[in-house]
Amino acid sequence: MKYALLNLLLCLSVIGSTQIAFGTKAGLHSYTLNINDNQSLAHSIQEASYGFHLGADLKFDIAGVTFIPSLMLNRVSAKYAVNDPDVTDLNVNQLNVEIPVMLGYEFFFLNIFGGPVAHFRVGGYDELVALAEPDSWKTALLGAQVGTRVSLFKWYVDLRYEKNFYSPDPVINAQSLTLVDAYSRIMLSVGRNLIKK
């Protein structure tokens, strides 16, 4: 009975010390690309602009441990060269839904965290899908992020580095094409907590 009471008091103290915040954020990201100028040899990425992302996240702080699940929309414009005489360069506006789940530590106004992220290709890929061999097209891929967040009152700045794990490239005319979203990137976001308890 004594141990049960102690456990209950411990659980109540942890719950009582939990801080919860819900916020929205937006920002830019830059991909680290391999640009291939020789279009005659293989498919390649010719150009890729800075991408734009926006979304929302929850932040749980429990005794210095931070848990941050998020839901993000990521958009980037890219130009692909396809080694096919019947197809011109493809200008694609790619839209992905992303779900990163971060775990880390909080030191005063600074958070350091890392964790997995899932990407789902949801829009702008129609031309690529039409050209790719059906079995080679993948709508989801996984990666990992590490980063830091600096908070000031209700505002915060979020800087992350993302490394995507290997995902089979789509195959077009027996040649593979690595898409922009399979590369690593740096993400900078500015956010605001709408609810903080």
CATH of the domain at 51: 2.40.160.20
C-beta contacts of 114-120 below 8 A and 24+ residues apart:
114/144, 114/145, 114/146, 114/147, 115/144, 115/145, 116/142, 116/143, 116/144, 116/145, 117/142, 117/143, 117/144, 117/145, 117/162, 118/142, 119/74, 119/143, 119/164, 119/181, 120/96
**pLDDT tens, 162-186?**
988 866 677 776 577 777 777 788 8
Residue 75: inside a domain, yes or no?
A: yes
Residue 6: inside a domain, yes or no?
A: no
Q: What are phi and psi of 165, to 5 degrees?
A: -75, 170
In total, how many domains does the chain have?
Answer: 1
In the chain, the amino acid numbered 139 is T
Residue 195 CB contacts under 8 Å (≥ 6 apart), including other chains: 20, 21, 22, 23
Residue 114: inside a domain, yes or no?
A: yes
* Separation of alpha carbons 40 and 63, rounded Å: 58
Residue 181: inside a domain, yes or no?
A: yes
Other Cβ atoms closer than 10 A to 144: 14
* Separation of alpha carbons 57 and 72, rounded Å: 8
Residue 3: inside a domain, yes or no?
A: no
**pLDDT tens, 85-116?**
666 677 788 899 999 999 999 888 899 999 99
Residue 8: inside a domain, yes or no?
A: no
Determine the structural domain holding residue 46 and report its residue range: 19-196
Residue 197 is encoded by which pair of tokens? Answer: 């308890």
Question: Residue 27: what pLDDT?
Answer: 96
Asked if residue 120 has pLDDT above 50, the reply is yes
Element (H, E) at 2: helix 2-17
Report the percentage of the chain scoring pLDDT > 70. Answer: 75
Residue 27 CB contacts under 8 Å (≥ 6 apart), including other chains: 52, 53, 54, 158, 187, 188, 189, 190
Residue 125: inside a domain, yes or no?
A: yes
